[in-house]
Amino acid sequence: MLQFQRGDESAFDKLVGRNTGKVHALVYRFLGDPGMLEDLTQEVFLRVYRTVERYEPAAKFSTWLYRITANLCFNVLRKRRRMHPLSLDVAESDDGDGYHRDVPDARSAAPGDGLDEREMRRKVSDAVASLPDNQRVAIILNKYEGKSYEEIAEVLNCTTMAVKSLLSRARNNLRNALVRYIRT
């Protein structure tokens, strides 16, 4: 980043090449939407490009990059929450009568089927996706990206104690969400 800041345009290409996978992983784990990967990744690196002059190496570059990525993901989640969901319970027919619509849920297993490994991963992924935003990004950075409490604190702009608390609450929420799928 410092080379790019000094005017070496090829350094930006190297940054993108080295970090695209990390950004993809964080976006996918955070939003769970493969359709958003390319657009958000492009937006992350566009913001890196635009803010090159303001970049100060107070923290590791990856921490700064994760912060940009997390903020963009938070923006997407806020937009999603403002959208009004369409009810699938009752639909209107042309004559004005309401009728119930059956919508198959590809995520649910048939009754009596055991959870295989792929299904368990999906359950865990769904449970992570249901966490509050800060808990979700903290658990993703810690468990999937291997970041330390200090690094997560920098990304979330909070204290390490706050990160420990977020991770504790996240683990508790995950345990509660997955208790029926875990054999003891």
111 band by pLDDT with thresholds 50, 70 and 90: very low
The pLDDT of residue 112: 42
With tokens 């695209």, the residue in question is 20
Half-sphere exposure for 107 (CA within 13 Å, toward CB): 8
The whole-number average pLDDT for the span 31-44 is 89
In whole angstroms, give the CA distance from residue 137 to residue 152: 9
Where is average pLDDT lowest: 43-52, 77-86, 124-133? 77-86
Tell me the one-letter amino acid at 79: K
The pLDDT of residue 62: 86
The whole-number average pLDDT for the span 91-118 is 54
pLDDT tens string 128-182:
889 998 999 999 999 888 899 999 999 899 999 999 999 999 999 999 988 887 7
The pLDDT of residue 106: 55
Q: Is pLDDT of 96 > 70?
A: no
- Contact status, residue 88 vs residue 101, Cβ threshold 8 Å: yes
Which domains, ranges and CATH numbers included, belong to the chain? Answer: 2-82 (1.10.1740.10), 114-181 (1.10.10.10)
In whole angstroms, give the CA distance from residue 1 to residue 93: 58
Q: What percent of the chain has pLDDT above 70? A: 81
The pLDDT of residue 47: 93
Half-sphere exposure for 150 (CA within 13 Å, toward CB): 2
